[in-house]
Amino acid sequence: MKVLFSLLFIIASLIGGFIGAGGNIANLWQPFEIIMLGGSGIGFFVATNSEGGIKQFGKFTTYFFKQPYCEKKFQSVIGLMFQLHAVYAKDKKALSNAIANPSADPVFSKYPEVLNDEDAKKFICNNLNLLIDSGSSISPFTFEDMLDAEIEAYRKEWIAPYKTATAMTDTFPALGIAVAVMGIILAMQYLDAGMDQLGAKIGAALFGTFFGIFMAYGIFKPISVKFGKYAEEGELFLNVIKTYIMCMVKNYDPLTAAAVTNKDVPPRYKLDTAVLREKLQNDQI
């Protein structure tokens, strides 16, 4: 919600300043300029994105309403991996059954933040399956390379909304100029009309430039920066999971694996190692 509030604050500041300076708010309602600029922007968005890219953009937009990563989620994934590691140490077949249907598994059900993250859930289940089936025949170096390649594939998907929003930032000012030029061409038809009518047409043309710049730097620039952070945190989250899986590959005990993994958690989300150990031992994560 913070993102939406910030965008509304930007809009309110601009409109409030305009009215405070004596401007007539009715002059900011130029529906045909909005149609030209908005339609061109939508066309650019669709033309430069695949269906998957559009869906990913929509998914990132939902994060405005609910933060995708937080301290609890990073702690939860360590807790989940700790529990799955304990199952793995006792009975690999039981772990195989758990990851075959994580939604019905009681261990996964304790960690809804991770269970509801489809990308993280797939990453965990697919790679634990690989560890169970072929872990002994794959060297730790090769296994780590495979995990890194998969994380890179996710990163490329997640960075797409950021690139799209950045492209929209670059494009909207140019579209605004195009709309303004069209408005000036239209205004030329009213040279022999009264100054009020001519002034209104020129004002509408200038609105096209304003609206293009506003959409670029008032809307899509903040969105692109936020999308970049979402992609970055998604990669950090998968790297935390990767670290724990590599600890399992190297046959660390669960508590040691959790402590090592905790070192990869971003400082803003990290627990002290002693606190983490205590919580894990008391089943508080």
First-residue to last-residue Cα distance in the chain: 27
What is this structure's pTM?
0.88
Torsion from C-alpha of 35, 40, 45, 46, nearest 10 degrees: 90
pLDDT of residue 10: 87
- Residue 4 domain-assigned (yes or no): no
- Residue 238 domain-assigned (yes or no): yes
- Total structural domains in the chain? 1
Residues spanned by the domain of 203: 31-68+117-251
- Residue 112 domain-assigned (yes or no): no
| pLDDT tops 80 at residue 281 | yes
23 backbone dihedrals φ, ψ, rounded to 5°: -75, 155
- Residue 168 domain-assigned (yes or no): yes
- Residue 257 domain-assigned (yes or no): no
Closest CA to 218 of 14, 1, 21: 14
pLDDT of residue 42: 94
- Residue 19 domain-assigned (yes or no): no
- Residue 227 domain-assigned (yes or no): yes
- Residue 181 domain-assigned (yes or no): yes
- Alpha carbon 281 to chain centroid, angstroms: 33
The set of residues, in sequence order, having a beta carbon less than 8 Å from that of 219 and lying 6+ positions away, is 7, 10
CA 22/CA 43 separation, integer angstroms = 36
Tens digits of residue pLDDT in 181-225: 999 998 888 888 778 888 888 888 999 999 999 999 999 999 999
| pLDDT tops 80 at residue 63 | yes
CA 235/CA 229 separation, integer angstroms = 10
